[in-house]
Amino acid sequence: MNIQIEIQKIISTYGRDIIKERRLVYILSDYGILKDLRAERRILLDIIDEGYAEQMIMLQPDRQDNSLKICSFISEVHQKTGYQVQKLITVFKWLSDSLGIVTVPFESILHVEQEAPIKEIIIKGKYKVKDPRAIDKVYKLPVDSFSKSSNKTTGVKDSKGMILERAAAKAAEEHIKYVLSEFKVDTADIDFSETPSMYYAVITLASNIRITKLIYLKDTIAEAISSTGCRIIAPIPGTNKIGIELIKEQPMAPSFQSILPQEKPKDSLCCSLGLMADGCPLSIDFSKVGHALIGGQPTSGKTNSLNTIIYSLISCYFPYEFKLALFDLKGAGLNIYEGIQKNYLVEFGESSNIADTTVSAAQLLFGLAEDLTLRKSHFLKASCNNIDEYNKLYLSGELDPLEGHSFTPRIIIIIDELSDIMQLSNYQSTMKYILSEGAQYGFHIVASTRQNIRRNMLTEEMKKAFQARISFKLESSIESKSVLGSSDAVDLYAIGDALLFDPTTASIKHFSTPYIDKNTKDIVTQYINTHPIIESYRIKSDSIDLPEKQPKLHSISCSDIDKNTIIQAVSILLQGGKCNEASLQKAMSCTFNTAHQILLKLDESGITKKEKNIRTLIVKDLAEAVSKM
């Protein structure tokens, strides 16, 4: 399809000014012209929004310097956004040809070489296999661009702000020293540092002070240092020092750039979580921890933590290394990732690859379980115990692709609110299967929950499979122990303040989750959308039995209750049913309020009678009840 001709048709219908309106993109999309050109569509929108399309309308078609002007536009957009130059040339060529602007090939001015397609690399071992790492030289990871981004913190401070901040840090340090001296805790050395959200003091005690004294007094000292926002670690694991964390009066979230690793870890899949009190990034390695559970009360930062995990993974790892399976029945948190589905999402449905309904969640969950079974059979044939062994054996050319063997990515299963998928039939057995056996085959669950973990949600055996535990602020020590294994989450402070139980060190670590700004989101999205589509990963979901539909609970007011509803209720009561809302609710599959309204109607009709908070049935049979209606 010649897109220039289609744009000319639109211009002839709506006039040349349509070029500078977003309506042009919407019309092209309505006709399906941009269906498979997601990156070009995004670029065209940006060209229109930034005013470059309007400037092109003002160009005189026959001027010799038109090519130079348009090439300057291409360079500006490339510097601002990082879009591939070749794709920018394609979109600007559409507009210039549609407007009748005479140009020379833009490549000759910009000295752009034609982007080389991904060359297929064949590994010749016992069998010939495709090497997925062929894209490494062509596919640019977003992390490469973050070095060009600005600050480590979320905002830029002027000189006055920096002076005030240094003064506040000095005052905090002196205050800590003063409180310790009041408790007669002598110090040999204090190493003081800060992050955007807190101050951190590493204290070496004097030789005459035993650390057990701090262990007994740490809660009292913490209260004296600050009534809110102070935590003492006595001792710091692996040392004879103590740590004091003090939340700032105006804490700021660290930037996303500040939590990323300096270099990509080898032979593992690590995701960044946030910044610890000492300023070091905190991450977990899925190959070591298996699965992760995130708890916290509403608006404490759970969904933002899931976003941080997803962004850090797609910023640092290639699409062949992992895929995402997203569950979001709330429909609010994870739908922003529809734009990256061509490379990073597990494919399972006909349209969206994000499970945001009960049916799609069932398809994806049970499809993942079926895919795990398939992997187990392949690993068994290859005599491999885990995914790393299997992939190394495949890349050495020892596995026959004709027998179904291929390079296998890890699957990160993101569940935004665990309780929302409890309604699926066979939920527990399927979750137990993935939790108990999935990690060694490359399946890792990261689930968030806003409430206390009950047995009908996760059994004790299933809960133990979540080795890494992340907790935000929780109201009670019972809830904190349910998620974290300790009551420390009760004492957390601001939104984004969190604790991690790290199973590799058996310790609890305090960290702040980052602020993911628009610039970060744009960098990640632009890089992914301008890259070629990598071979997708699809699971079989057609043959999966979907859960039976639960009867819908109906809620009606007293005035809407008809005669048939009354007769049904009386029949239940005559068969020995208790005259209370809970029994009637269960028997009629209705809401508690509906059952209450029905009983009020029965009281009004003289069929039941309530005395001293006890309701009794006063009719002997259905005929008597009908006569009273």
Three-state SS letters, 416-449 = ECHHHHCCCCCHHHHHHHHHHHCHHHCEEEEEEE
Once rounded to an integer, what is the mean pLDDT over residues 367-387? 91
Q: Does residue 165 fall inside a structural domain?
A: yes
Shared domain for 269 and 213, answered yes or no, is no
Is the Cβ–Cβ distance between 131 and 123 less than 8 Å? yes
Q: Does the annotation flag 565 for ligand binding?
A: no
Whole-model pTM: value is 0.66
Shared domain for 510 and 563, answered yes or no, is no
Q: Does residue 360 fall inside a structural domain?
A: yes
Read off the pLDDT of residues 546-560 as tens digits, 9 standing for 90 and up. Answer: 444 333 434 444 455
pLDDT bracket for residue 532 (50, 70, 90): low
Q: In 3-state terms, what secondary structure has residue 119? A: coil
Shared domain for 262 and 243, answered yes or no, is no
Please report, for the domain that includes residue 290, its CATH number: 3.40.50.300
Once rounded to an integer, what is the mean pLDDT over residues 348-359? 75
Helix (H) or strand (E) run with residue 410 in it: strand 410-416
For 307, what's the count of Cα atoms within 13 Å in the CB-facing half-sphere?
21
Once rounded to an integer, what is the mean pLDDT over residues 216-235? 73
Query: Is omega for the bond preceding 254 within 30 degrees of 0, making it cis?
Result: no
The residue segments making up the domain with residue 597 are: 558-628
In sequence order, what are the residues at sequence separation of 6 or more whose Cβ sits closer than 8 angstroms to the Cβ of residue 542?
none
Shared domain for 359 and 308, answered yes or no, is yes
Once rounded to an integer, what is the mean pLDDT over residues 291-314? 87
Q: Does the annotation flag 473 for ligand binding?
A: no
Shared domain for 327 and 472, answered yes or no, is yes
Once rounded to an integer, what is the mean pLDDT over residues 511-537? 70
Q: Does residue 347 fall inside a structural domain?
A: yes
**What value, to the nearest 5°, has the Cα angle with vertex 52 and ends 47 and 57?**
120
Give the whole-number percent of the chain exceeding pLDDT 70.
Answer: 80
Once rounded to an integer, what is the mean pLDDT over residues 577-593? 73
Is the Cβ–Cβ distance between 396 and 125 less than 8 Å? yes
Q: What is the pLDDT of residue 328?
A: 83
Q: Does the annotation flag 349 for ligand binding?
A: no
- Is the pLDDT confidence value at 430 over 70? yes
Q: Name residue, tokens 């994870």.
A: 334
Q: Does residue 552 fall inside a structural domain?
A: no
Q: Does residue 37 fall inside a structural domain?
A: yes
Q: Where are the alpha helices (DSSP H) in 382-408?
A: 387-395
Q: Does the annotation flag 302 for ligand binding?
A: yes
Q: What is the pLDDT of residue 379?
A: 92
Please report, for the domain that includes residue 200, its CATH number: 3.30.980.40
Considering only residues 187 and 341, tell me which one the structure prediction assigns the higher pLDDT. Answer: 187
Which range among 377-391, 449-463, 611-625 shows the weakest confidence by mean pLDDT? 449-463
Please report, for the domain that includes residue 570, its CATH number: 1.10.10.10
Most confident residue range from 38-52, 208-222, 444-458, 532-546: 38-52
Q: Does residue 512 fall inside a structural domain?
A: yes
Shared domain for 569 and 593, answered yes or no, is yes
DSSP state of 338: G
Q: Where are the alpha helices (DSSP H) in 31-158?
A: 38-49, 52-57, 66-81, 85-98, 106-110, 143-146
Shared domain for 240 and 279, answered yes or no, is no
Report how many domains make up the chain: 4
Shared domain for 242 and 263, answered yes or no, is no
Among 181, 215, 247, the domain boundary falls at 247
Shared domain for 463 and 521, answered yes or no, is yes
Q: Does residue 131 fall inside a structural domain?
A: no
Q: Does the annotation flag 303 for ligand binding?
A: yes
Among 192, 223, 247, the domain boundary falls at 247
DSSP codes of every residue in 214-243: HHHHHHHHHHHH-SSSEEEESSPTTSS-EE
Q: Does the annotation flag 297 for ligand binding?
A: yes
Read off the pLDDT of residues 598-623 as tens digits, 9 standing for 90 and up. Answer: 888 888 888 888 876 678 888 877 77
Among 198, 224, 247, the domain boundary falls at 247
- Is the pLDDT confidence value at 577 over 70? no
In sequence order, what are the residues at sequence separation of 6 or more whose Cβ sits closer than 8 angstroms to the Cβ of residue 320?
132, 133, 135, 407, 409, 534, 535
Among candidates 522, 524, 521, which has minimal Cα distance to 46?
522
Shared domain for 509 and 380, answered yes or no, is yes
Q: Does residue 102 fall inside a structural domain?
A: yes
Q: Does the annotation flag 301 for ligand binding?
A: yes
Considering only residues 369 and 214, tell me which one the structure prediction assigns the higher pLDDT. Answer: 369
Give the whole-number percent of the chain exceeding pLDDT 90.
Answer: 10
Among candidates 82, 148, 474, which has minimal Cα distance to 300?
474
For residue 232, the cross-strand partners are 244
Shared domain for 65 and 170, answered yes or no, is no
Sort 238 into a burial class: Cβ within 10 Å, 0-12 / 13-18 / 19+.
exposed
Once rounded to an integer, what is the mean pLDDT over residues 462-469? 88
Query: Average pLDDT, whole number, for the chain?
Result: 78
- Is the pLDDT confidence value at 376 over 70? yes
Considering only residues 97 and 543, tell me which one the structure prediction assigns the higher pLDDT. Answer: 97
Shared domain for 196 and 292, answered yes or no, is no
Q: Does the annotation flag 298 for ligand binding?
A: yes
Once rounded to an integer, what is the mean pLDDT over residues 137-155? 55
- What is the C-alpha separation between 517 and 73, in angstroms, rounded? 26
